[in-house]
């Protein structure tokens, strides 16, 4: 996924004195408070962080409450979608005027009817409807399909909502693209190499079923599905952790330390 | 392309439309529009959520009719449609619940809002506490509700609960006249009576919610959340009157697991040295009152907890002996609270424990004598009159007493608590079969004062002819109405000690 990137940051996290007994936890909580919000200083949405406290010295601030600034080395996973990037998402809601998808299980994306290619016709019958391309009846977008779309606009003010478009080439339902799109299909190969564990397992499966009739490319598409599903699940777990911090809030209504 | 600024008037019409007047189909269409609008762009999301939350309560003019049967069905329908829309929005915009909880926080009914609005809002709000939405924000919603309950609770004074009905009318009239924008808190909740009614209504809603959680098998998860909330919000509230009964009811729904868990949870807080003194004392008061009053708690749980309390007291006494203690009662408040708890529990449960030989022997092995005759503590092995006697001394020593699970006085929600509640009149004691009318023990009754600043003695003769009320109020610290009318009382009438009991040896203050 183009929009995902890793970053390394040297931060100073200001911790309230009441947390001096467990600084690492306080720092982690501070950073967790930033999860899933767009941060200007990171130029993206923080998805995950890994933190190491550098040294054991911290500077105490002057002022009414003596916060102390802990120097922190952080590995950050950031999500920064930009216009014209190609993203993948799972379709959640379909309508004649719009397709709504979810990227990484957390971010909402909407594709309006103007940005859907004319060859896609909306069929309302059963299951919330689906879009079928009249040039190729196999190309179907329905609820639960994974689609590739390009980014038109990103709204960074609140929840990083994306307005997308299915007009540029190499966009549409991923299953269909993996079979019919000559340029896209090879990407699946490189996708397999990226996460080795899953790749190896699927390679073996493919060797077992090589005698089947199902096209080989479709199998690879299935592999790509697993990889993206894996990251989806990961992100959903991260979501749950972020929200569980709010339950921690109930336990300890600590005064929050100020941001770095 | 709709823009939020240019098309403000149009959007405003959509967002301020109350759905309560609409027919089913129109409502469906409108909610569908709202759902899709929310998914289209972030800028509409907040307004859409706000619109849905505003519809948690019926518009003002419907207030009077909302309890009628035909509206009840529609209300349920509307709630389920609102929940459906919110769930749909949460599916299409996964980060929406985060925004929703802030909106709900801002829109929560305030102390002085009218009862119907409060009850309606909280009922709809708690309906969100299931599925994915419940996992994400359920805990926070429940916490908000408990905060509201507690706030109402502390605004009730005893006067208002016990006072005659004729006062109610006046308060009701004045509340209706109040403009909803009036935010002068002091004036608004003058009738603690009004607060009591609102609290009563909300307790019904929360109990129903817990009941439905139990039916869907979600009680233990909910209970974990409740425990945390209780710890943070209710435990340390000074003289919380009724809000804590939420825990009582939750425990009654699953006595073996939740019921036991609560008792152990409280005992743990009491025994942990790291906890602050107020929490510890409050916890031990809670466990005493809980074990005494909760019918669903088994005798062996009671004995188990008693053992822990006694062990703690013994350790404390030993330690005091070692270091050479000071005799100032103020330094040993936690110890006195726990002794008192032990005696209180035994007053209620001793007889029932005696029926089990193994528990009986466990009990007899506990060094009550050592604790109660310890120089720190002037009490003898307790018979109920001794407890009363101890209360008197505790009052002199200015010990603050608090039995959280004293008889529940709110009328509407009483039906949830009554089946599980042990009234003193029903307790079998070890010295007699029934202590109801025995003059000797007539002193052991309701109106023991809380804070020791009162020398007013209580009048045993209740004005009411209701004997049931009389016997039910025994062994409770709910102040009697005559407390507030000292003139009416015979100032010489005191709590007299039965002659056969030795005079107590109180430490000089």
Cα torsion angle, A15, A18, A22, A26, sign? negative
pLDDT tens, residue by residue, B465-504:
344 444 444 555 555 444 434 343 333 333 333 333 334 4
Residues B393-414: what's their mean pLDDT?
68
pLDDT tens, residue by residue, B27-71:
888 888 888 888 888 788 888 999 999 989 888 766 666 667 778
Nearest neighbour of A110 by CB, restricted to B39, B94, B96? B39
pLDDT interval class at B319 (50, 70, 90): confident
pLDDT interval class at A183 (50, 70, 90): confident
pLDDT interval class at B377 (50, 70, 90): low
Residues A252-260: what's their mean pLDDT?
41
Q: Are the Cβ atoms of B42 and A161 closer than 8 angstroms?
A: yes
Q: How many CB pairs under 8 A join A and B?
A: 78
Per-residue confidence (pLDDT) for residue B178, from 0 to 100: 43
Q: Is the pLDDT of residue A202 over 80?
A: no
Q: Among residues A42, A49, A47, A38, which one has the least CA distance to residue A162?
A: A38
Per-residue confidence (pLDDT) for residue B161, from 0 to 100: 59
- Backbone φ and ψ for B237, nearest 5 degrees, come out as -70, 130
Q: Which H helix or E strand runs over A91?
A: strand A86-94
Q: Is the pLDDT of residue A98 over 50?
A: yes
Nearest neighbour of A106 by CB, restricted to B88, B95, B232? B95
Give A124 or B302, the one with higher predicted confidence. Answer: B302
Q: Is the pLDDT of residue A120 over 70?
A: yes
Which of these ranges, A68-77, A161-170, B429-438, has the smallest mean pLDDT? Answer: B429-438
Q: Are the Cβ atoms of B41 and A163 closer than 8 angstroms?
A: yes
In chain B, % of residues over pLDDT 90: 28
In this structure, the number of other CB atoms found within 10 A of the CB of residue A189 comes to 12
State the Cα–Cα distance between residues A88 and B101, nearest whole angstrom. 29
Q: Which H helix or E strand runs over A46?
A: strand A44-53
- Backbone φ and ψ for B268, nearest 5 degrees, come out as -60, -40
pLDDT interval class at A252 (50, 70, 90): low
Within a 13 Å sphere around the CA of B319, how many CA atoms are in the beta-carbon half? Answer: 8
Give B149 or B364, the one with higher predicted confidence. Answer: B149
Q: Is the pLDDT of residue A71 over 70?
A: yes
Q: Are the Cβ atoms of A159 and B88 closer than 8 angstroms?
A: no
Per-residue confidence (pLDDT) for residue B443, from 0 to 100: 35
Q: Is the pLDDT of residue A185 over 70?
A: no
Per-residue confidence (pLDDT) for residue B17, from 0 to 100: 79
State the Cα–Cα distance between residues B373 and B72, nearest whole angstrom. 61
Among A114, A158, A238, most B C-beta atoms within 10 A, so best to mutate, is A158
Nearest neighbour of B94 by CB, restricted to A108, A112, A249? A108
Q: Which H helix or E strand runs over A130?
A: strand A130-133
State the Cα–Cα distance between residues A200 and A78, nearest whole angstrom. 27
Nearest neighbour of B42 by CB, restricted to A36, A100, A158? A158
Q: What angle do CA B101, B105, B111 make, to 5 degrees?
A: 155
Among A99, A236, A243, A244, most B C-beta atoms within 10 A, so best to mutate, is A243
pLDDT interval class at A138 (50, 70, 90): confident
pLDDT tens, residue by residue, B136-152:
899 999 999 999 999 99
- Backbone φ and ψ for B66, nearest 5 degrees, come out as -65, -20
Q: Are the Cβ atoms of B36 and A93 closer than 8 angstroms?
A: yes
Per-residue confidence (pLDDT) for residue B437, from 0 to 100: 42
How close, in Å, is residue B233 to chain A by CA atoms?
9
Q: Which residues pair with A173 in a beta bridge?
A: A147
Q: Are the Cβ atoms of A253 and B232 closer than 8 angstroms?
A: yes
A window 183-242, beta carbon within 8 A of B: 239-240
Per-residue confidence (pLDDT) for residue B485, from 0 to 100: 40
Q: Are the Cβ atoms of B94 and A106 closer than 8 angstroms?
A: yes
Q: Is the pLDDT of residue B463 over 70?
A: no
pLDDT tens, residue by residue, A19-64:
889 999 999 999 999 999 888 888 899 999 999 998 888 899 998 8
Asked if residues B25 and A96 have their Cβ atoms less than 8 Å apart, the reply is no
What are the strands, taking DSSP E only, across B206-334?
A: none
With an 8 Å Cβ cutoff, is A53 touching chain B?
Answer: no
Q: Are the Cβ atoms of B92 and A95 closer than 8 angstroms?
A: no
- Backbone φ and ψ for B329, nearest 5 degrees, come out as -55, -30
Q: Are the Cβ atoms of A159 and B46 closer than 8 angstroms?
A: no
Residues A174-180: what's their mean pLDDT?
87
Which of these ranges, A5-19, B219-233, B341-355, B410-424, has the smallest mean pLDDT? Answer: B341-355
Q: What angle do CA B466, B470, B475 make, to 5 degrees?
A: 165
Q: Are the Cβ atoms of B88 and A93 closer than 8 angstroms?
A: yes
pLDDT tens, residue by residue, B241-273:
899 999 999 999 999 999 999 999 999 999 998
**Which residues in chain B have Cβ-Cβ distances shorter than 8 Å to A251?**
228, 231-232
Interface ipTM: 0.70
Q: Are the Cβ atoms of A100 and B45 closer than 8 angstroms?
A: no
**Which residues in chain B have Cβ-Cβ distances shorter than 8 Å to A79?**
none
Nearest neighbour of A93 by CB, restricted to B39, B46, B96? B39
Residues 6+ apart with CB under 8 A from B281: B333, B334, B337
Q: Is the pLDDT of residue B190 over 50?
A: no
Per-residue confidence (pLDDT) for residue B3, from 0 to 100: 67
Nearest neighbour of A251 by CB, restricted to B95, B98, B228? B228
With an 8 Å Cβ cutoff, is A156 touching chain B?
Answer: no
Q: Are the Cβ atoms of B93 and A112 closer than 8 angstroms?
A: no
Q: Are the Cβ atoms of B225 and A247 closer than 8 angstroms?
A: yes
Q: Among residues B302, B286, B373, B291, which one has the least CA distance to residue B337?
A: B286
Asked if residues B122 and B109 have their Cβ atoms less than 8 Å apart, the reply is yes
A87: exposed, middle or buried (Cβ count in 10 Å: 0-12, 13-18, 19+): buried
Q: Are the Cβ atoms of A251 and B231 closer than 8 angstroms?
A: yes
Per-residue confidence (pLDDT) for residue A55, from 0 to 100: 84
How close, in Å, is residue A213 to chain B by CA atoms?
37
B294-313 in b/e form (b: 16+ CB < 10 A) is: bebbebebbbbbbebbbebb
A window 165-184, beta carbon within 8 A of B: none
pLDDT interval class at B166 (50, 70, 90): very low
Q: Is the pLDDT of residue B133 over 50?
A: yes
- With tokens 């929005």, the residue in question is B89
Q: Are the Cβ atoms of B92 and A100 closer than 8 angstroms?
A: yes
With an 8 Å Cβ cutoff, is B87 touching chain A?
Answer: no
With an 8 Å Cβ cutoff, is B100 touching chain A?
Answer: no
**Which residues in chain A have Cβ-Cβ distances shorter than 8 Å to B231?**
251
Q: Is the pLDDT of residue B424 over 60?
A: yes
Q: How many residues does chain B have?
A: 509
A window 97-126, beta carbon within 8 A of B: 98, 100, 102, 105-108, 110, 112
State the Cα–Cα distance between residues A56 and A43, nearest whole angstrom. 29
């Amino acid at each position: 996924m183009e929009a995902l990137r890793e970053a390394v940051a040297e931060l100073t996290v200001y911790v309230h004195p009441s947390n001096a007994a467990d600084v690492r936890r306080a720092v982690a909580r501070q950073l967790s408070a930033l999860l899933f919000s767009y941060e200007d200083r990171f130029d993206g949405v923080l998805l995950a962080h890994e933190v190491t406290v550098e040294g054991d010295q911290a500077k105490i601030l002057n002022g009414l409450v003596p916060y102390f600034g802990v120097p922190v080395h952080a590995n950050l996973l950031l999500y920064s979608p930009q216009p014209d990037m190609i993203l993948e998402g799972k379709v959640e809601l379909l309508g004649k005027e719009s397709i709504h998808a979810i990227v990484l299980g957390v971010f909402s994306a909407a594709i309006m009817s103007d940005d859907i290619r004319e060859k896609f016709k909306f069929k309302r019958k059963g299951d919330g409807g689906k879009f079928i391309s009249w040039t190729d009846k196999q190309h179907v977008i329905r609820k639960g399909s994974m689609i590739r779309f390009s980014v038109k606009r990103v709204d960074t003010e609140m929840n990083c909502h994306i307005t997308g478009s299915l007009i540029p080439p190499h966009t549409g339902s991923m299953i269909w693209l993996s079979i019919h799109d000559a340029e896209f299909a090879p990407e699946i190969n490189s996708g397999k190499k990226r996460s080795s564990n899953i790749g190896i397992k699927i390679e073996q499966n493919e060797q077992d079923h090589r005698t089947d009739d199902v096209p080989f490319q479709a199998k690879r598409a299935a592999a790509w599905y697993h990889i993206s599903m894996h990251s989806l699940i990961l992100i959903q777990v991260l979501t749950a952790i972020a929200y569980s911090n709010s339950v921690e809030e109930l336990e300890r209504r600590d005064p929050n330390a100020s941001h770095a | 392309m709709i823009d939020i600024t240019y098309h403000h008037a149009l959007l405003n019409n959509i967002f301020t439309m109350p759905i309560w007047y609409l027919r089913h189909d129109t409502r469906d269409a409108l909610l569908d529009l709202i759902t899709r609008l929310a998914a289209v762009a972030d800028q509409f999301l907040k307004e859409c959520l706000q619109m849905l939350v505003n519809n948690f309560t019926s518009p003002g003019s419907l207030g009077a009719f909302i309890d009628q049967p035909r509206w009840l069905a529609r209300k349920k329908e509307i709630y389920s449609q609102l929940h459906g829309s919110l769930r749909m929005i949460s599916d299409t915009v996964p980060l929406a619940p985060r925004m929703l909880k802030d909106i709900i926080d801002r829109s929560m009914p305030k102390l002085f809002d009218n009862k119907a609005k409060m009850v309606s809002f909280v009922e709809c709000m708690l309906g969100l506490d299931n599925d994915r939405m419940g996992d994400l924000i359920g805990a926070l919603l429940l916490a908000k509700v408990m905060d509201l309950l507690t706030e109402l609770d502390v605004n009730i004074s005893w006067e208002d609960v016990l006072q005659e009905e004729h006062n109610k009318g006046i308060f009701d009239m004045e509340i209706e006249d109040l403009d909803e924008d009036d935010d002068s808190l002091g004036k608004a909740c003058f009738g603690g009576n009004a607060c009591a009614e609102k609290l009563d209504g909300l307790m019904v809603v929360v109990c129903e919610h817990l009941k439905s959680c139990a039916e869907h098998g979600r009680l233990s998860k909910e209970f974990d959340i409740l425990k945390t909330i209780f710890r943070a919000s209710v435990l340390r509230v000074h003289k919380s009157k009724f809000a804590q009964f939420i825990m009582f009811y939750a425990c009654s729904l699953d006595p073996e697991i939740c019921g036991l868990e609560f008792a152990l949870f409280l005992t743990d807080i009491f025994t942990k040295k790291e906890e602050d003194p107020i929490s510890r004392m409050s916890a031990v008061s809670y466990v005493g009152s809980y074990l005494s009053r909760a019918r669903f708690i088994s005798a062996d749980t009671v004995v188990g907890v008693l053992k822990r309390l006694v062990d703690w007291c013994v350790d404390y006494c030993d330690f005091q002996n070692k270091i050479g203690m000071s005799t100032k009662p103020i330094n040993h408040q936690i110890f006195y609270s726990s002794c008192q708890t032990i005696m209180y529990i035994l007053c209620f449960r001793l007889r029932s424990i005696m029926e089990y030989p193994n528990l009986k022997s466990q009990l007899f092995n506990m060094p009550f004598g050592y604790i109660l005759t310890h120089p720190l503590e002037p009490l003898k092995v307790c018979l109920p009159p001794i407890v009363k006697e101890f209360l008197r001394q505790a009052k002199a020593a200015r010990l603050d007493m608090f039995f959280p699970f004293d008889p529940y006085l709110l009328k509407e929600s009483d039906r949830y608590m009554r089946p599980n509640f042990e009234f003193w009149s029903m307790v079998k004691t070890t010295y007699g079969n029934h202590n109801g009318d025995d003059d000797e023990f007539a002193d052991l009754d309701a109106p023991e004062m809380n804070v020791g600043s009162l020398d007013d003695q209580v009048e045993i003769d209740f004005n009411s002819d209701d004997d049931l009320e009389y016997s039910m109020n025994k062994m409770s610290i709910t102040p009697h109405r005559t407390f507030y009318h000292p003139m009416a009382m015979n100032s010489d009438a005191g709590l007299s000690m039965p002659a056969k009991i030795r005079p107590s040896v109180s430490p000089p203050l």
